[in-house]
Structure 1
Amino acid sequence: MAYFLAADGGTESLRARIYDLQGNCVASHAEPYETVFSAGTRAEQRPEDWWTSLCKATRACMAESGLKPDQIEAMAYATTSCTVVALDDDGNPLRPALLWMDVRASSEAEAVLATGDDRLKLNSNGRGPVSAEWMIPKALWIKRNEPEIYDKAATICEYQDYLTLRLTGERCAALNNAGLRWHYANRDGGWAKSLVTALGMPDLIEKWPSRVAAPGEVVGNLTAQAAEALGLTTATKLVQGGADALIGMIGLGVARPGQLCLITGSSHLQFGVTEKPFHAEGMWGAYADIVYPDLYIVEGGQTSTGSIINWLKRFTGGELDFEALNQKAALLPPGSEGLVIQDHFQGNRTPYTDALSRGAVTGLTLAHEPHHVFRAIMEGISFGTRTILDAFSRGGYQATEMVAGGGATNSALWMQIHADTAGIPVRIPASADGPSLGSAILAAHGAGHFATIDEGIQAMVKPGRLVEPDPAAMRAYDEIYQKYLALYPALKGALEG
């Protein structure tokens, strides 16, 4: 039997898992780490904590599995994207990492957009926005506000790349992250030289890792020091992973053109697979080769989704019984008896890219109860997903199937509403651990067990359930959707007035 170590470096912890070639998880262990929040929407983590957590979690998995060190053929991992690290000549952190959610670089993001550089066509066809979360704005913030750190930094990279350096000694960036958030063009000149030059930091190119590796590519073997720290051997290969959401696509089995990956949680992310590149307003991408060779990824996102459900719980005093709400809400007809909710509680990421837009509950009467609002929230969020699918369609991408992962898949009602509002089937694979299973598939591919990533998906991703759209509900939602679409311009005009 062959075994593979996967890790998922998230916002609050790092979880290691060991998988076999059939996609079975034989061991799992998580180690938490601290995030330090401070004024100015700042959030930082200590890179050394990621390493410590990886070592502890790996050793715990090895103990749980009973495997010998030489039975782990390869490892790969998914991590948060846009978590930026500055390192000295010896690879030691010069300051805490700027976590992905750290948005102190808002003015720097505006400066990036103001360059009008051709690479910005990936962001709503040049319309933007450029997020303060991303690599270049954060690097520019360091240069402007901590010039001594910037000048001393031999390497500016991400969470993913820091672990790679610790494990193999290689300065290697993930194509997955670089293509998604560094404005790296895999088929069109590589690094965004004109962009960083326009920002007055052409030397950033030299500070970035000198190598860029695609998902599934072998970076190298573990060093003796790393192997000892993890309890493995130097025969273990490190295979390139990448951003957690995109590696999650692999773990959910989203690999064919026309498939759409819906990753749910506090927010929704939508990633589609396409054979042809295109750029359009209301979407991000298309990104070349960042998950699969010779294919492109298009991206959309909703800022607040599951977080609105949590808001409802807080709003009503925190005593909601979600199981009871689900049962009552399932008995309601589409439209929640007249309620339509705009889901922009924290602004809109796509397709409107309007950070100032806000949520709204419309159509309330004295007859409405909490389960009406509960269902209307799910419907409003699902309508928000449909606006993104519509934007994709206008750009040239037509989704034929939505593959879902994350917390919302626990609600059969919500998955049915997604299918009914989008008008396409929703597939929920058996494993909810998309980033970890995706990492294991990449490790197995890199170790030579599968000729392609798609072969690994076929062998290791287990089928789950399929939710077909209901024709009658589809017709009802088509009419309600028009009311939802009318809310944004009406409310935008009212707020501006």
Structure 2
Amino acid sequence: MGREEYVLGIDMGTSSVKAGLFTLTGTPIAFADATYPLYTPRSGWAEQKTDEWWNAICKATRKLVDKSGVSPSAIMGMSVDTTCCTMLFLDRDRQPLRPAVMWMDVRASKQAKEITATGDPMLKYNGYGNVSAECMPAKVLWIKQNEPEVWEKTGYICECLDWLTHKLAGELTASIDTMAPRWYYDRPNGGWPLDFFASFGLDDVVEKLPQDILDMGAYVGKLTEKAAADLGLAAGIPVGEGGADAFVGMVGLNVVQPGRIAMITGTSHLHLGLTEKEMHSKGMWGSYPDAVIRGLHLIEGGQTSTGAIVNWFKTNFCGDIRQLAEKEGRSVYDLLNEGAQELPIGADGLLALDYFQGNRTPYADPDVRGMFYGLSLSHTPYHVYRAIIESICYGTEAIMQTFRDGGMEPDGIYISGGAVKSAFWTQAHADVCNLPIFIPKVTEAPCLGSAILGAVACGAYADIQTAAKNMVTIEDRVEPDREKQQEYRFYYEKYKEAYLDSRGWMHGITARPQ
């Protein structure tokens, strides 16, 4: 009998990196992580340093090898995922000229407005709405306008993903998975939209942009001797082209064919699906050609605040429940879920809006905020918690409806992240959206997704779809309750009306200096 073979996935998030080791059938062997700091030198700015990234990656990978007991020589392939639109400006020797500008950095809001004002046809990818300050053109325009000395020395503009792949394999490539959604790269229509860039003053940017743009899972090169020594791995491991964390999470959920929706949960929700045909609709991001699977189009929706609201509520308003949980040796969330489930749909007349940090989709409205209507002296923390969960589910359904309006009919939601831990939350999503919820065995979908890309790169599987089919296991299925769905419908309609009726009023308050 031959020895067991493994694949490695590295998942780089905003504050930490996670390394995961898997068999070629997707069984997790071990995970390890390490953290790095985030720097916010000014309001709206967010930066990180590449040497601190690399130190953390090396720490996590070495810890993983020790923890797993697996010989590095048994690792057949590897790949990575990172945050998207975390950008680096490199000199001609491929060395960083300044700290990385993080995805969440919004210093380029003025530049984003300038780009939006062009009204260019490329804005179809933004749901015909506002260009985000997180996207490549806005950040690059900011650097050109505000740091001309950096701009002049810049030989290469790349993603965090591209930098990491270069550190591993010595090749400077880019992934279609990040270029299409956030860099406006349009492969079917010739690649870089030169006229679009020129319309807002970036006519000279293309010479600095990646030229070698690969599909996810494509073979990039072998792990170098230097990288292997740093990481505690064996040199020569095939390195596969990676992607953005959420999009790689689709691979780790086996959402690699039309109809399925990946819902990546955590601080926020991200909703992702694939379509056979190009489609653009107001309030929906995309569709992006070839971004995950060549020949298919990626659509995207997102809620800015979901898990963050739940955590805010738990931290600030659940003192008594926390004391009870400590006394019983249980989780605060267990008690909140139990109490909320005893209440009726609609939380006894309490309705919430989940726009604590604005609305990402379908309204693309950064100037609205969270709201509760119907508070009475009879309401308890459990009512408030239930109203929050219901509002998040209504926000998800609003995005599903946008997908339907655009021409894509979801047939199921595949979920990963924190919400998986709450049966109440997953059931409520199923009931409100009238869709089954599929729960995977491995909830660290981006990490598994990266490992799957590594399996493709080393030739263990012919393509992403075959690899995902063999490496992703669905452990549970939550069916919608049709009767509850009808009950939720009344409150869902009121949720939508609340935004439409009060947005002008909210804008007026938000605009007032604080």
Fold similarity call, TM over 0.5: yes
Over 3 Å counting, the alpha-carbon distance change for 1:496 and 1:65 in structure 2 is: closer
Question: Deviations 1:402-457 (Å, cap 9, x if unpaired)?
Answer: 11111111110111110111011111111111000001111111111112212111
Match of 2:461 among 450, 475, 482: 450
Match of 1:412 among 413, 418, 423: 423
Gap regions ≥5 residues in structure 1: none
Partner residue in 2 for 1:177: 178
Question: Match for 1:280: what amino acid?
Answer: S
Q: What secondary structure, in the 3-state scheme, does the structure 2 residue paired with 1:291 have?
A: coil
* 2:369–2:506 Cα contact (<8 Å) kept: no
Partner residue in 2 for 1:148: 149
Distance in 1 of aligned mates of 2:264 and 2:34:
23
Compute the RMSD of aligned alpha carbons.
Answer: 1.5
Find out whether 1:82 has 2:111 as its counterpart.
no
Superposed displacement of residue 25, structure 1:
2.0
* 2:367–2:507 Cα contact (<8 Å) kept: no
Find out whether 1:205 has 2:206 as its counterpart.
yes
Question: Deviations 1:352-377 (Å, cap 9, x if unpaired)?
Answer: 11111122111222211110110111
Match of 2:500 among 484, 489, 495: 489
Equivalent residues in 2 for 1:369-448, closer than 5 Å: 369-448=380-459
Superposed displacement of residue 252, structure 1:
1.3
Partner residue in 1 for 2:223: 222
Distance in 1 of aligned mates of 2:9 and 2:506:
48
Distance in 2 of aligned mates of 1:466 and 1:319:
34
Question: Match for 1:76: what amino acid?
Answer: S
The number of aligned residues is 495
Distance in 2 of aligned mates of 1:444 and 1:8:
15
Distance in 1 of aligned mates of 2:64 and 2:296:
34
Superposed displacement of residue 176, structure 1:
0.7
Partner residue in 2 for 1:29: 32
Distance in 2 of aligned mates of 1:490 and 1:231:
58
Question: Deviations 1:282-302 (Å, cap 9, x if unpaired)?
Answer: 100011111112211110011
Question: Match for 1:32: what amino acid?
Answer: T
Question: Deviations 1:192-218 (Å, cap 9, x if unpaired)?
Answer: 222222222223211122211111111
* 1:313–1:319 Cα contact (<8 Å) kept: no
Question: Deviations 1:180-237 (Å, cap 9, x if unpaired)?
Answer: 1001112111112222222222232111222111111111112232233223334211
Q: What secondary structure, in the 3-state scheme, does the structure 2 residue paired with 1:17 have?
A: strand
Equivalent residues in 2 for 1:37-436, closer than 5 Å: 37-124=40-127, 127-316=128-317, 318-320=319-321, 321-436=332-447
Distance in 2 of aligned mates of 1:140 and 1:201:
7
TM (normalized to structure 1)? 0.97
Superposed displacement of residue 319, structure 1:
5.0
Distance in 1 of aligned mates of 2:30 and 2:440:
20
Q: What secondary structure, in the 3-state scheme, does the structure 2 residue paired with 1:475 have?
A: helix
Partner residue in 1 for 2:511: none
Distance in 2 of aligned mates of 1:446 and 1:11:
26
Distance in 1 of aligned mates of 2:69 and 2:310:
41
Question: Match for 1:163: what amino acid?
Answer: L
Distance in 1 of aligned mates of 2:102 and 2:39:
9
Taking only the aligned residue pairs, the percentage that are identical comes to: 44
Question: Match for 2:409: what amino acid?
Answer: Q
